[in-house]
Chain A
Amino acid sequence: MYTLGIDVGSASSKAVILKDGKDIVAAEVVQIGTGSTGPQRALEKVIETSGLKKEDISYTVATGYGRFAFKDADKQVSEISCHAKGIYFLVPTARTIIDIGGQDAKAIRLDNNGGIKQFFMNDKCAAGTGRFLEVMARVLETTLDKMAELDEQATDTAPISSTCTVFAESEVISQLSNGESRNNIIKGVHLSVASRACGLAYRGGLEKDVVMTGGVAQNAGVVRAVAGVLKTDVIVAPNPQTTGALGAALFAYEAAQKN
């Protein structure tokens, strides 16, 4: 039996096809999210990669901010439950999940059976999320995929506040005009993102293993900063952008079996 999970996020669309609730047949990411052609393109891509036909899919679960806009789904599940499900499947020792996506950051505490004990999300604003990094990359005249490498070359950490993306942007501009090195500023930006996410993780009571997921987990600079703040090892989920979609595909499998 094949099931599909689709995670329609604010910044990207992810799709995973699962065979018999165990084997990942295909996983695809399209870097454009809800309200765009992204979800449909992610669906078409994952179908193509898998070599299957749409009719082969027994059940589809949608998650992410655009979950209700994706009309081909049989059911919608929140991204909190989907990330928890996907991570527990990949890393059964996970007890704390830090998920940083396009517009939100969340910390999820799992019990020994993979159930959600508690979760905390960013509130008030999107500072400390993927959007924050995008804005910073633009000001620093670099791209998201180069930020980790530049961070590694830093000799110091420039302090960047994490209360507001717009204020942080002007802070970065001011640091640049004061002659601070770009690499040090990038390291500061990563620490700023990490400190907000870690604040959420502490609220849930930190327990190992700590697993990072979401698009921002692909940035090794942020991962190093999180590990530094938490003073613990951090496992990066395999293919971290697609863990929500994987969780959705697992929920789809469970639902299909009940039907």
Chain B
Amino acid sequence: MSLTQGMSAKKLLAYYQNKADQDAREAKARGDLVCWSASVAPPEFCVTMGIAMIYPETHAAGIGARKGAMDMLEVADRKGYNIDCCSYGRVNMGYMECLKETAITGKKPEVLVNSPAADVPLPDLVITCNNICNTLLKWYENLAAELDIPCIVIDVPFNHTMPIPEYAKAYIADQFRNAISQLEVICGKPFDWKKFKEVKDQTQRSVYHWNRIADMAQYKPSPLNGFDLFNYMALIVACRSLDYAEITFKAFADELEENLKAGIYAFKGEEKTRVQWEGIAVWPHLGHTFKSLKGLGAIMTGTAYPALWDLHYDADDESLHSMAEAYTRIYINTCLSNKVEVLMNIMNKGQIDGTIYHLNRSCKLMSFLNVETAEIIKEKNGKPYVSFDGDQTDPRVFSPAQFDTRVQALVEMMEANLAAAE
């Protein structure tokens, strides 16, 4: 009987998150390769090559959620990284510095001994992709330079117009093939195209069940609280090309379907209003943001951020154009009009009454279009919105009282609209 048989989705999530890190530690111990990867860079090539994967963004988010970000940020501060840089990048640079010091001196620095950070090994190579931001290029180039290791860059140009033109897909597919060639050199073995097909199929099964979970927010009342997508997304990021993600997501989607049938909903008590959350979660204050909404009778039933990993494509397409399209159509890699369309679709599907925009100091790409996006959507569907200042992993940027005031006002506006409509 397998170890995971009969485990709840929540237990599977914890089990496979730990297992992915353990796999990387064991790979390192065996002398096999470990790769650090940008969150929406394709893992399919490295997994085909049998390389263990670690995701610094997810790792940093975990450190933030466990209240350990400040220690790593201070290490990065001392190395001269400005606070205007992305806090995922700074936390990761801080962590990397600690690992590097350990490797050089044989002694773990105090800050790492006391850190709640998941224990992951240093990389032997890094892979990055600019389909979610360009900071990832400099961040990973920096990792590669600091550690003197190879850096594979997959260039995915921004889509200023939609739909995505064929030449863009062809260019990205060439980038994929170039990455494969680089991996063949790094690994000293030919790329296994048969295995690659299996990995693509696996990825598609993970994505299918991930989308099943997100789809549950369409029901009113909802069996899914959108904050659970924030919790479970660690696996769609870090393990989508392994069966870890598929097994966990299938279990969670099945549980949610059962709950829906049984009339068990995410919100205990009356679900008064439904909100959309736009932007990355405020990991160090995740509990506060969740409880604040809950206390006001509001449930989150739509968020485009976890939907970044809706990476469905045709796994049989050997031209790789379909896969290229999946990795470039991510809404933050597209024009304003497409971003508006994506968010409005989520609002319609999740039966949303209003939106909370996270003006995230770290993530300029996700934040700078917020003002315009919010106003266009408000004009189109009349739903109220608020924005608040925060940061994905730097706990100093977020003010709980400021958040609460804005969110309470939003809830009051949504309730007034609902009362007027009755």
List the interface of chain A (C-beta within 8 A of B).
Answer: 65, 76-81, 104, 115-116, 118-119, 121, 123-124
Contacts and interface: CB of A to CB of B under 8 A. Distances in A.
B409 interface: yes
Nearest to B397: A124
Nearest to A125: B389
Interface in B380-408: 384, 386-389, 401-402, 405-406, 408
Interface stretch (B16-24, B167-175, B278-286, B412-420): B412-420
B130 to A, nearest CB: 28
B378 interface: yes
A118 B405 contact: no
Given A115-B420, A116-B413, A78 B378 contact: no
A80 B405 contact: yes
Given A118-B384, A123-B359, A124-B389, A79 B405 contact: yes
Nearest to B406: A121
A116 B384 CA distance: 9
Q: Which 9 residue pairs of A and B lie closest in terms of their CB atoms, listed nearest first?
A: A80-B409, A78-B408, A78-B409, A81-B412, A123-B389, A116-B413, A65-B401, A78-B405, A115-B416
Which one of B402, B413, B420 has the highest number of Cβ atoms from chain A below 10 Å of its Cβ? B413
16 contacts: A65-B401, A65-B405, A77-B408, A77-B412, A78-B405, A80-B412, A81-B412, A104-B402, A115-B416, A115-B420, A116-B384, A116-B409, A118-B384, A121-B402, A123-B359, A123-B389
A123 B384 CA distance: 18
A116 B388 CA distance: 18
Contacts of B412: 77-78, 80-81, 116
A202 B387 CA distance: 17
A118 B386 CA distance: 9
Given A76-B408, A78-B409, A116-B409, 11 more contacts: A77-B412, A78-B408, A115-B420, A116-B412, A116-B413, A118-B384, A119-B409, A121-B405, A123-B387, A123-B388, A123-B389
A118 B378 contact: yes
Contacts of B402: 104, 121
A78 B413 CA distance: 10
B359 A116 contact: no
Most chain A CB within 10 A, of B387, B408, B409, is at: B409
Nearest to A66: B401
Contacts of B406: 121
Contacts of A116: 384, 409, 412-413, 416
Contacts of A118: 378, 384
A121 to B, nearest CB: 7
A116 B387 CA distance: 16
A65 B412 CA distance: 16
A81 B411 CA distance: 10
A252 B337 CA distance: 43
A123 B416 CA distance: 25
Interface in B171-198: none
Nearest to B359: A123
Contacts of B416: 115-116
Contacts of B386: 119
Nearest to A108: B409
Nearest to A76: B408
Interface in B89-132: none
Nearest to A123: B389
Nearest to B387: A123
B357 to A, nearest CB: 11
A74 to B, nearest CB: 16
B263 to A, nearest CB: 29
Contacts of B359: 123
Contacts of B378: 118
Interface in B357-386: 359, 378, 384, 386
Contacts of A121: 402, 405-406
A207 B359 CA distance: 27
Contact of B409 (A65, A81, A115, A124): A81
A11 B91 CA distance: 36
Contacts of B413: 81, 116
Give the residue among A78, A116, A121 with the most B Cβ atoms within 10 A. Answer: A78
A110 to B, nearest CB: 12
Nearest to A68: B404
Contacts of A78: 405, 408-409, 412
Contacts of B405: 65, 78-80, 121
A189 B217 CA distance: 50
A116 to B, nearest CB: 5
Contacts of A124: 389
A15 to B, nearest CB: 19
Contacts of A79: 405
A76 B409 CA distance: 11
A77 B401 CA distance: 14
Contacts of A81: 409, 412-413
Contacts of A65: 401, 405
A65 B406 CA distance: 11
B415 to A, nearest CB: 10
Contacts of B401: 65
A89 B120 CA distance: 61
Q: A79, A104, A119 — which one has the most chain B CB atoms within 10 A of its CB?
A: A119
Nearest to A80: B409
A118 B374 CA distance: 11
B378, B387, B402, B408 interface centre (most CB from chain A within 10 Å): B408
Contacts of B408: 76-78
Contacts of A115: 416, 420
Contacts of A80: 405, 409, 412
